[in-house]
Amino acid sequence: MKCSKKPIVCLDAGHGFYSCDKTTPEFEDGSTIHEAEQNYPIMYRVAKYLEFNGMKVILSNDNIYKDKSVKDRVEVCNKSNADIMVSIRKNGINRKWQNYAKGIETYCYKFGAEGEKLARRIHNNLINDTKLYNRGVKEGNWDVIQMTKVPAVLLELGFIDYLEEAKQMKDRFWHDKYAKAITKGICEYFDMEITEFPYLSINELEYYKEQIIELEDKIAKLQKELLDKDIRKDDLPIKREDI
């Protein structure tokens, strides 16, 4: 697709940090990883790469700690004059480790339209660059790709409950590998040559710095409210039935 103007790309990272049931099963040390800990760093990298290569980027949700409904995220895309939407996600079967489902699959709403072209461009680059199992390009009626007014794709980058792929979720090497492949696919879709991939020296935590500060402020306020409630409760007269 040759674009006569500066392409506008809407990027979506799916669930925020507080969405339920979006974590890996427990690792041996008892820890877990939330899906957002993979998706948001990849989305930010793709955004930087696309901007460096001459595109405008809109984020459907730029705060990992604030959940937005699918409807709200799609609305951001539909109101932004974006040319395409790309949703970055992590697949999963259940909350237990399994050893049969793995790899990358990419969804578009219907075959035969621009969504399929976009899906195949990105998917081919993901498979070529990651060497992960190829689950193919598929049709899907997910709201995030069905409700958009522009070509949209949903990328399922491995399985949250397949151990080897779960281990990649906080690995910056893999974040960058995914991000570069997605960027190359988007550039191919718009028939744009990639100038280069800039070195991203900014630590991912920098992206979250303001959000982390905001979250800490909220926790501090909540702790103070709970403490004040406890103090007021202690000041109440003791009722006979409480003795």
Q: Which domain holds residue 91?
A: 8-189
Task: Tell me the per-residue pLDDT of 158-205, one tens digit each, with 9 for 90 and over.
Answer: 999 999 999 999 898 999 999 999 999 999 999 999 877 877 654 544
Does 207 score more than 70 pLDDT?
no
3-state secondary structure of 168: coil
Exposure letters 30-62 (e unless 16+ CB within 10 A, then b): eeebbbbbbbbbbbbbbbbbbeebebbbbbbbb
Residues 88-109 have a mean pLDDT of 95
Assess whether 116 and 214 both reside in one domain. no
- Asked if residue 49 lies in contact with residue 198, where contact means CB atoms within 8 angstroms, the answer is yes
Assess whether 27 and 136 both reside in one domain. yes
Assess whether 181 and 228 both reside in one domain. no
Q: Which of 165, 189, 213 is the last residue of a domain?
A: 189
8-12 and 134-139: which strand pairing? unpaired
Phi, psi for residue 238 in degrees, rounded to 5? -80, 125
Q: Which residue has the higher pLDDT, 5 or 214?
A: 5
Does 56 score more than 50 pLDDT?
yes
Q: How many domains does the chain have?
A: 2
Assess whether 129 and 178 both reside in one domain. yes
Please report the pLDDT score of residue 234 as a whole number: 54
Residue 174 lies in a domain: yes
User: Of all residues in the chain, what percent carry a pLDDT higher than 90?
Assistant: 65
CA–CA distances in Å: residue 111 to residues 5, 11, 86, 116, 118: 26, 21, 16, 5, 11
